[in-house]
Amino acid sequence: MAGRVFVFDLDDTLIDNVHDYAEPILDTCRLIVKTFGRKAPHVDVIIALEHEIDSRRVKETNPDTGQPFLYSMERFPGSMVEVYREIAKRVGVIPDSELEKDFYAIGMRAFDKSRYARNVHPAAKRVLDYLTNKGDKIALLTKGDATVQRKKIAVLKNAGISNFSAVWVVGQKLSISFSLMARDFLPSSARLTLYSVGNSYESDIKPALTAGFKGILVPVETWDLIGKMDDVVREAKENGVFVFRDLSDIITHYEEL
Protein backbone atom coordinates (compact mmCIF):
# COMPACT_ATOMS: atom_id res chain seq x y z
CA MET A 1 0.00 0.00 0.00
CA ALA A 2 1.26 3.46 -0.92
CA GLY A 3 2.52 5.62 1.88
CA ARG A 4 1.11 8.83 0.45
CA VAL A 5 -2.17 10.06 -0.98
CA PHE A 6 -2.29 13.26 -3.02
CA VAL A 7 -5.73 14.83 -3.43
CA PHE A 8 -5.61 17.31 -6.30
CA ASP A 9 -7.80 20.28 -7.04
CA LEU A 10 -8.88 20.69 -10.68
CA ASP A 11 -9.48 24.33 -11.70
CA ASP A 12 -6.31 26.43 -11.81
CA THR A 13 -4.34 23.43 -10.55
CA LEU A 14 -4.54 20.72 -13.22
CA ILE A 15 -6.48 22.86 -15.72
CA ASP A 16 -5.98 26.61 -16.02
CA ASN A 17 -9.33 28.29 -15.50
CA VAL A 18 -9.08 31.84 -14.23
CA HIS A 19 -8.84 33.51 -17.66
CA ASP A 20 -11.81 31.59 -19.09
CA TYR A 21 -13.96 34.28 -17.51
CA ALA A 22 -11.90 37.24 -18.68
CA GLU A 23 -13.05 37.29 -22.30
CA PRO A 24 -16.79 37.16 -21.45
CA ILE A 25 -16.30 39.95 -18.90
CA LEU A 26 -14.52 42.08 -21.49
CA ASP A 27 -17.21 41.30 -24.09
CA THR A 28 -19.83 42.34 -21.54
CA CYS A 29 -18.00 45.65 -21.10
CA ARG A 30 -17.98 46.16 -24.87
CA LEU A 31 -21.70 45.51 -25.18
CA ILE A 32 -22.45 47.78 -22.21
CA VAL A 33 -20.51 50.63 -23.85
CA LYS A 34 -22.15 49.94 -27.22
CA THR A 35 -25.61 49.85 -25.64
CA PHE A 36 -25.42 52.90 -23.39
CA GLY A 37 -22.89 55.03 -25.24
CA ARG A 38 -21.80 58.12 -23.31
CA LYS A 39 -24.07 57.10 -20.42
CA ALA A 40 -22.10 53.91 -19.90
CA PRO A 41 -19.84 53.78 -16.82
CA HIS A 42 -16.09 53.60 -17.24
CA VAL A 43 -14.84 50.08 -17.98
CA ASP A 44 -13.15 49.94 -14.54
CA VAL A 45 -16.55 50.56 -12.94
CA ILE A 46 -18.23 47.87 -15.05
CA ILE A 47 -15.58 45.30 -14.12
CA ALA A 48 -15.80 46.21 -10.42
CA LEU A 49 -19.60 45.91 -10.61
CA GLU A 50 -19.32 42.48 -12.22
CA HIS A 51 -16.97 41.35 -9.46
CA GLU A 52 -19.35 42.64 -6.78
CA ILE A 53 -22.45 41.06 -8.31
CA ASP A 54 -20.88 37.70 -9.13
CA SER A 55 -19.32 37.43 -5.65
CA ARG A 56 -22.68 38.17 -4.03
CA ARG A 57 -24.59 35.72 -6.18
CA VAL A 58 -22.47 32.76 -5.02
CA LYS A 59 -24.60 32.69 -1.85
CA GLU A 60 -27.87 33.81 -3.41
CA THR A 61 -30.64 31.33 -4.17
CA ASN A 62 -31.10 30.03 -7.68
CA PRO A 63 -34.87 30.43 -8.27
CA ASP A 64 -34.87 27.41 -10.59
CA THR A 65 -33.48 25.04 -7.95
CA GLY A 66 -34.23 26.70 -4.63
CA GLN A 67 -30.57 26.16 -3.69
CA PRO A 68 -27.63 28.60 -3.49
CA PHE A 69 -25.95 29.26 -6.83
CA LEU A 70 -22.52 28.49 -5.39
CA TYR A 71 -20.30 27.54 -8.34
CA SER A 72 -23.02 26.25 -10.63
CA MET A 73 -22.83 27.04 -14.33
CA GLU A 74 -25.94 29.24 -14.21
CA ARG A 75 -24.41 31.79 -11.83
CA PHE A 76 -21.82 33.47 -14.06
CA PRO A 77 -23.99 34.08 -17.18
CA GLY A 78 -26.76 35.35 -14.92
CA SER A 79 -24.28 37.76 -13.36
CA MET A 80 -23.63 39.29 -16.79
CA VAL A 81 -27.36 39.90 -17.09
CA GLU A 82 -27.48 41.45 -13.62
CA VAL A 83 -24.62 43.81 -14.53
CA TYR A 84 -26.65 45.00 -17.52
CA ARG A 85 -29.80 45.41 -15.42
CA GLU A 86 -28.00 47.37 -12.71
CA ILE A 87 -26.42 49.77 -15.19
CA ALA A 88 -29.75 50.21 -16.97
CA LYS A 89 -31.29 51.10 -13.63
CA ARG A 90 -28.55 53.62 -12.89
CA VAL A 91 -29.01 55.41 -16.21
CA GLY A 92 -32.80 55.24 -16.09
CA VAL A 93 -33.39 52.78 -18.94
CA ILE A 94 -35.79 49.84 -18.96
CA PRO A 95 -33.83 46.60 -19.62
CA ASP A 96 -34.40 44.99 -22.98
CA SER A 97 -35.22 41.26 -22.75
CA GLU A 98 -33.45 40.51 -26.05
CA LEU A 99 -30.28 42.20 -24.82
CA GLU A 100 -30.52 40.19 -21.62
CA LYS A 101 -30.35 37.04 -23.75
CA ASP A 102 -27.24 38.44 -25.45
CA PHE A 103 -25.55 39.07 -22.11
CA TYR A 104 -26.42 35.58 -20.89
CA ALA A 105 -24.98 34.09 -24.08
CA ILE A 106 -21.77 36.05 -23.55
CA GLY A 107 -21.46 34.59 -20.04
CA MET A 108 -21.94 31.07 -21.34
CA ARG A 109 -18.79 31.43 -23.45
CA ALA A 110 -16.78 30.86 -20.28
CA PHE A 111 -17.82 27.21 -20.50
CA ASP A 112 -16.70 26.58 -24.06
CA LYS A 113 -15.25 23.08 -23.74
CA SER A 114 -12.83 23.74 -26.61
CA ARG A 115 -10.81 25.80 -24.11
CA TYR A 116 -10.34 22.94 -21.69
CA ALA A 117 -7.90 20.88 -23.75
CA ARG A 118 -5.73 23.96 -24.36
CA ASN A 119 -5.79 24.76 -20.65
CA VAL A 120 -4.48 21.46 -19.26
CA HIS A 121 -1.43 22.33 -17.19
CA PRO A 122 1.67 21.34 -19.18
CA ALA A 123 3.16 19.57 -16.15
CA ALA A 124 -0.03 17.81 -15.00
CA LYS A 125 0.53 14.43 -16.63
CA ARG A 126 4.22 14.38 -15.77
CA VAL A 127 3.57 15.14 -12.10
CA LEU A 128 0.74 12.65 -11.68
CA ASP A 129 2.66 9.92 -13.52
CA TYR A 130 5.68 10.60 -11.33
CA LEU A 131 3.64 10.20 -8.13
CA THR A 132 1.95 7.07 -9.43
CA ASN A 133 5.31 5.55 -10.34
CA LYS A 134 6.47 6.29 -6.80
CA GLY A 135 3.61 4.10 -5.56
CA ASP A 136 1.48 6.98 -4.28
CA LYS A 137 -2.27 7.21 -4.66
CA ILE A 138 -3.85 10.09 -6.59
CA ALA A 139 -7.36 11.45 -6.08
CA LEU A 140 -9.32 14.41 -7.45
CA LEU A 141 -11.59 16.69 -5.42
CA THR A 142 -13.13 19.57 -7.34
CA LYS A 143 -15.90 22.04 -6.64
CA GLY A 144 -18.26 23.41 -9.26
CA ASP A 145 -21.08 22.47 -11.57
CA ALA A 146 -21.01 18.69 -11.98
CA THR A 147 -21.78 18.85 -15.70
CA VAL A 148 -18.96 21.31 -16.36
CA GLN A 149 -16.45 19.55 -14.14
CA ARG A 150 -17.16 16.15 -15.70
CA LYS A 151 -16.36 17.61 -19.11
CA LYS A 152 -13.03 18.86 -17.79
CA ILE A 153 -12.29 15.48 -16.22
CA ALA A 154 -13.01 13.87 -19.59
CA VAL A 155 -10.49 16.25 -21.17
CA LEU A 156 -7.88 15.13 -18.62
CA LYS A 157 -8.57 11.53 -19.56
CA ASN A 158 -8.11 12.35 -23.24
CA ALA A 159 -4.78 13.90 -22.30
CA GLY A 160 -3.71 10.62 -20.71
CA ILE A 161 -4.46 11.72 -17.13
CA SER A 162 -6.69 9.07 -15.62
CA ASN A 163 -4.70 7.66 -12.71
CA PHE A 164 -7.18 8.78 -10.02
CA SER A 165 -8.19 6.32 -7.32
CA ALA A 166 -11.21 8.53 -6.54
CA VAL A 167 -12.94 11.49 -8.18
CA TRP A 168 -15.32 13.72 -6.24
CA VAL A 169 -17.25 16.75 -7.52
CA VAL A 170 -18.77 18.91 -4.76
CA GLY A 171 -20.61 22.22 -4.50
CA GLN A 172 -18.23 23.47 -1.81
CA LYS A 173 -15.00 22.16 -0.36
CA LEU A 174 -15.49 21.71 3.35
CA SER A 175 -13.46 19.93 6.01
CA ILE A 176 -15.98 17.08 5.90
CA SER A 177 -15.26 16.67 2.17
CA PHE A 178 -11.64 15.90 2.96
CA SER A 179 -12.51 13.80 6.01
CA LEU A 180 -14.78 11.57 3.94
CA MET A 181 -12.14 11.24 1.27
CA ALA A 182 -9.54 10.33 3.89
CA ARG A 183 -11.86 7.67 5.25
CA ASP A 184 -11.69 5.88 1.89
CA PHE A 185 -7.92 5.55 2.17
CA LEU A 186 -6.99 5.40 5.84
CA PRO A 187 -8.60 2.06 6.82
CA SER A 188 -6.00 0.31 4.68
CA SER A 189 -3.09 1.79 6.59
CA ALA A 190 -2.96 4.24 9.47
CA ARG A 191 0.52 5.25 8.30
CA LEU A 192 -0.70 6.95 5.15
CA THR A 193 0.17 10.63 4.77
CA LEU A 194 -2.44 12.68 2.97
CA TYR A 195 -1.78 15.86 1.00
CA SER A 196 -4.17 18.36 -0.52
CA VAL A 197 -2.77 20.07 -3.61
CA GLY A 198 -4.43 23.21 -4.94
CA ASN A 199 -4.19 26.85 -5.92
CA SER A 200 -6.55 28.25 -3.27
CA TYR A 201 -5.50 28.40 0.37
CA GLU A 202 -9.05 29.08 1.57
CA SER A 203 -10.74 26.37 -0.49
CA ASP A 204 -8.13 23.67 -1.13
CA ILE A 205 -5.85 23.87 1.89
CA LYS A 206 -7.48 25.24 5.07
CA PRO A 207 -10.36 22.74 5.22
CA ALA A 208 -7.91 19.95 4.39
CA LEU A 209 -5.59 20.94 7.25
CA THR A 210 -8.55 20.71 9.63
CA ALA A 211 -9.17 17.17 8.34
CA GLY A 212 -5.58 16.13 9.08
CA PHE A 213 -4.06 16.61 5.63
CA LYS A 214 -0.82 18.33 4.80
CA GLY A 215 -1.07 21.17 2.30
CA ILE A 216 0.69 21.90 -0.97
CA LEU A 217 -0.25 25.33 -2.30
CA VAL A 218 0.55 26.37 -5.86
CA PRO A 219 -1.06 29.81 -5.71
CA VAL A 220 -2.87 31.48 -8.60
CA GLU A 221 -4.15 35.05 -8.33
CA THR A 222 -7.86 34.59 -8.95
CA TRP A 223 -10.41 37.42 -8.80
CA ASP A 224 -10.91 37.03 -5.05
CA LEU A 225 -7.18 37.24 -4.27
CA ILE A 226 -6.23 40.46 -6.00
CA GLY A 227 -3.91 42.35 -3.67
CA LYS A 228 -4.03 39.61 -1.02
CA MET A 229 -1.54 37.07 -2.29
CA ASP A 230 1.39 38.03 -0.03
CA ASP A 231 -0.79 37.67 3.07
CA VAL A 232 -2.18 34.34 1.86
CA VAL A 233 1.27 32.90 1.20
CA ARG A 234 2.52 34.14 4.56
CA GLU A 235 -0.36 32.50 6.42
CA ALA A 236 0.07 29.27 4.50
CA LYS A 237 3.76 29.03 5.36
CA GLU A 238 3.06 29.85 9.01
CA ASN A 239 0.73 26.84 9.07
CA GLY A 240 3.34 24.47 7.67
CA VAL A 241 2.01 24.42 4.11
CA PHE A 242 4.41 23.77 1.25
CA VAL A 243 4.17 26.71 -1.17
CA PHE A 244 5.45 26.07 -4.69
CA ARG A 245 5.73 28.35 -7.70
CA ASP A 246 4.72 25.67 -10.19
CA LEU A 247 2.99 22.29 -10.15
CA SER A 248 6.21 20.65 -11.37
CA ASP A 249 7.92 21.66 -8.09
CA ILE A 250 6.16 18.67 -6.51
CA ILE A 251 8.67 16.51 -8.38
CA THR A 252 11.62 18.74 -7.53
CA HIS A 253 10.79 18.80 -3.82
CA TYR A 254 9.28 15.32 -3.52
CA GLU A 255 11.83 14.07 -1.01
CA GLU A 256 11.14 17.09 1.23
CA LEU A 257 7.40 16.38 1.53
Q: pLDDT tens-digit profile of 61-94?
A: 988 888 888 888 889 999 999 999 999 999 999 9
CA-closest candidate to residue 223, choices 66, 53, 64: 53
Residue 57 makes CB contacts below 8 A (sequence gap 6+) with 69, 75, 78, 79, 82
> C-alpha angle with apex 47: 28 to 62, nearest 5 degrees?
70
pLDDT of residue 43: 95
Q: pLDDT tens-digit profile of 208-236?
A: 999 999 999 999 887 667 778 899 999 99
Q: Which CATH superfamily is domain 4-16+120-256 in?
A: HAD superfamily/HAD-like (3.40.50.1000)
Confirm if 170 and 143 have CB atoms less than 8 A apart: yes
Per residue, the 3-state secondary structure of 171-209, as one string, reads CCCCHHHHHHHHHHHHHHCCCCEEEEEECCHHHHHHHHH
Give the DSSP per-residue string, 36-94: HGGGSPPHHHHHHHHHHHHHHHTSSEETTTTEE-TT-TTHHHHHHHHHHHHHHHHHT-P
Q: pLDDT tens-digit profile of 120-174?
A: 999 999 999 999 999 999 999 999 889 899 999 999 999 999 889 999 999 889 9
Phi, psi of 54 (to 5 degrees): -65, -35
Domain ranges in the chain are: 4-16+120-256, 19-114
Strands 166-170 and 193-198: unpaired
Cα–Cα distances in Å, from 148 out to 76, 109, 116, 254? 13, 12, 10, 32
Does the structure show a pLDDT above 60 at 189?
Answer: no
pLDDT of residue 95: 96
pLDDT of residue 188: 55
Cα–Cα distances in Å, from 60 out to 90, 107, 144, 168, 200? 22, 18, 15, 24, 22
The rounded Cα 92 to chain-centroid distance in angstroms is 36
Phi, psi of 198 (to 5 degrees): -165, 175
235: alpha, beta or left, given left = phi > 0 and alpha = psi -120 to 50? alpha
Q: How many CB atoms lie within 10 A of CB 28?
A: 23
Average pLDDT, whole number, for the chain?
Answer: 91
CA-closest candidate to residue 25, choices 56, 58, 59, 48: 48
Residue 234 makes CB contacts below 8 A (sequence gap 6+) with none
Does the structure show a pLDDT above 60 at 1?
Answer: no
